[in-house]
Amino acid sequence: MTFADALWAQLQHGRTLWVVGFWAVVTALASAAPEARGRLRLPSFLLALYLLTTVVVAALIADGRDPHTLGVFNLAFELLALVGLGQVLVFSVALPRLGVRLPRILVDVVTGVAVVIALIFVGKRAGFSVAGLITTSAVITAVLGFALQDTLGNLMGGLALQLDSSVKVGDWIALGLGDREGQVVDIRWRYTAVETRAWETVLIPNSTLMKSQVVVIGRRQGAPLRVRRQVDFQVDFRTPPTEVLATVREALTTDRPALVEAQPPLQVLFIAIKDSVAAYCVRYWLSDLANDDPADSDVRTRVFFALQRAGIALSIPAQAVFVSHDDDARKARKEHDALVARQAALAAVDVFAPLDEAERANLADRLRRAPFAAGEAVTREGEHDDGLYIIVEGTAEVRIGEGDAARTIATLGPGQFFGEMALLTGEVRSATVLATTDLQCYRIDKHGFEAMMRARPALADAVADVLADRRIALASAREEAGDGAPAKAEVKRDLLDRIRAFFALR
Ligand code: CMP
């Protein structure tokens, strides 16, 4: 047989003309789609190999030799070229024209299955059954299983991601630690490709995506894509926060920067005072996730100019260092100043007016500072406790009863004292005294007071006088006083007796 006869027979037998015709049709159709054109390269190369091997097979036949082995390769090239051309025709030309865009992973899987079928077919021609080999040989199955473990994990992961849409093409996801983020551009059979703002493409194996926690940025069910951004700025802490907040809010809402979303509305917040600066932030919403830094920059620029227009200075780092030389003289001076302040507090209280200088100094020595915040209870009705308090600054309310039945029966201010009833009689607190403003008090305990009562027993009389008035007011507030209520003199005498007994003054 001549070479020409052999070649002609081969071309007819191998459906070569049909295959070349198919290639020509697909190439013509794909010429309109640049993406499809790129995909044609491999099938075209396989087709070229197929044609080449066809010629060589014909030459071998003409030479009278057996072309069996090369024939197997020839078939393999032919089938693989057909699979490639089919893939381009269906997935890159026909379906896109119908408006259907399948996920890449599905295309990869279908192509992969077609290639395996083609290879089984080629194996059969070569004289052995690939399928039978895999199903009957446990060793090969195990080796294949191990080798494909990761690949199958990735493949399954990729299919799962596509099926449950947990991560979709177009989603922005956080990449590991730090603030690296990127947009998912492709989910393939092995990896998911993510493009970052820094023009990098990060390939994450699908199995890793499945196993680890993934943060999908800006996505919330039933809500449009957006993310909350925060732009910090610091202002001199002497500027009233209300002024700063109003200035910045007005500047950003009357003329909103282009990238800032209208809804939800932006917030301007006073977030901290530290190191002599007042820290503020603007929180706004952004839907153009690729432009986060430019949007922040716009907002920052607006804040800068708005503050300048309002004459509000941005903070400069400032620190005050206090250095004091703590010697004995200074210590003595400080103690003396504190004592003078305590004596002044005592002098302002009527009942302590009869005390002479030395006695007042002695009592002042026993006073302790006791500040309370507005709203704090200094004494609680019914509790055991024995301090007497002298108010220096602020006001307090005397209340009885609890919950809805609570009533204010008196208001006390600077120069007045309270807590004397429990201290002088040893009874539980008769009322709750509540600081209505921040309260500066001095406190004296039973021992301190006792020492002074012993030094000047006449004090008991003055205190008992105040106490009697308060007792009567308390009783009438509690509606305990009936027609036969004792007169003040009687109450006072009774109290005086109890005070003397309590302090063993007799
Ligand atoms: P004491 O009972 O130790 O604790 C509650 C205090 O409220 C009480 O002492 C008094 O000092 C004070 N107090 C009670 N009733 C009156 C009142 N009518 N007027 C002013 N202060 C009072």
Question: What DSSP line would sit under 413-452, residue for residue?
Answer: -TT-EE-HHHHHH-PPPSSEEEESS-EEEEEE-HHHHHHH
Nearest atom in ligand 1 to the alpha carbon of residue 432 is 5
Q: Please choose from 470, 491, 499, 502 the residue to mutate so as to test ligand 1's pocket, defined by most ligand atoms within 8 A of CB.
A: 470
| Statement: residue 482 has pLDDT above 60 | no
- 459 CA to middle of ligand 1, Å? 18
Q: What's the pTM?
A: 0.49
Confidence band for 184, pLDDT divided at 50, 70 and 90: very high
Maximum C-alpha span of the chain: 149
Contact of 44 with 104, CB cutoff 8 Å = no
Q: Please choose from 386, 427, 474 the residue to mutate so as to test ligand 1's pocket, defined by most ligand atoms within 8 A of CB.
A: 474
Give the lowest-confidence range in 125-134, 197-206, 239-248. 125-134
Residue 227 phi/psi, 5-degree rounding, is -135, 145
- 39 CA to middle of ligand 1, Å? 94
Q: Please choose from 399, 409, 430, 463 the residue to mutate so as to test ligand 1's pocket, defined by most ligand atoms within 8 A of CB.
A: 430
- Produce one character per residue of 5-39: b if its CB has 16 or more CB atoms within 10 Å, e if not: ebbeebbeebebeebeebbeebbebbeeeeebeeb
Nearest atom in ligand 1 to the alpha carbon of residue 474 is 18
Helices (H), 130-289: 130-136, 138-147, 149-164, 206-211, 241-254
Q: Which residue owns the Cα nearest ligand 1 atom 8?
A: 419
Pull the structure tokens for residue 292: 């986060």
- 364 CA to middle of ligand 1, Å? 22
> Ligand 1: residues within 6 Å at CB?
379, 398, 409-410, 418-422, 429-431, 433, 470, 473-474
Structure confidence by residue, pLDDT tens digits, 21-37: 999 999 998 887 777 78
- 400 CA to middle of ligand 1, Å? 10
Report pLDDT for 203. 92
Pull the structure tokens for residue 174: 């956080």
Rounded percentage of the chain residues whose pLDDT exceeds 90 = 36
**Cα gap 431→381, rounded to integer Å:** 4
**Cα gap 102→108, rounded to integer Å:** 10
- 431 CA to middle of ligand 1, Å? 6
Calculate mean pLDDT across residues 209-227. Answer: 87
Angle in degrees, 0-180, between the axes of helices 149-164 and 138-147, rounded to the nearest 10? 60
| Statement: residue 144 has pLDDT above 70 | no
| Statement: residue 147 has pLDDT above 80 | no
Confidence band for 253, pLDDT divided at 50, 70 and 90: very high
- The DSSP-derived string for 358-419 is HHHHHHHHT-EEEEE-TT-EEE-TT-----EEEEEES-EEEEES-GGG-EEEEEE-TT-EE-
Structure confidence by residue, pLDDT tens digits, 226-243: 999 999 999 988 888 999
- Alpha-carbon distances of 106 from 98, 162, 359, rounded to whole Å: 17, 9, 98
| Statement: residue 210 has pLDDT above 90 | no
Helix (H, G, I), strand (E, B) or coil at 327: coil
- 489 CA to middle of ligand 1, Å? 19
Structure confidence by residue, pLDDT tens digits, 44-84: 999 999 999 988 988 888 888 888 888 889 889 999 999 99
Burial classification of residue 418, based on how many CB atoms lie within 10 Å of its CB (0-12 exposed, 13-18 middle, 19 or more buried): buried
Residue 285 or 104, more confident: 285
Structure confidence by residue, pLDDT tens digits, 420-476: 999 888 889 999 999 999 999 999 998 888 888 888 888 888 888 888 999 999 888
- 472 CA to middle of ligand 1, Å? 11
**Cα gap 251→323, rounded to integer Å:** 43
Q: Which residue owns the Cα nearest ligand 1 atom 11?
A: 418
Q: Please choose from 349, 350, 351, 379 the residue to mutate so as to test ligand 1's pocket, defined by most ligand atoms within 8 A of CB.
A: 379
Which residue carries 């030309």 as its tokens?
Answer: 93
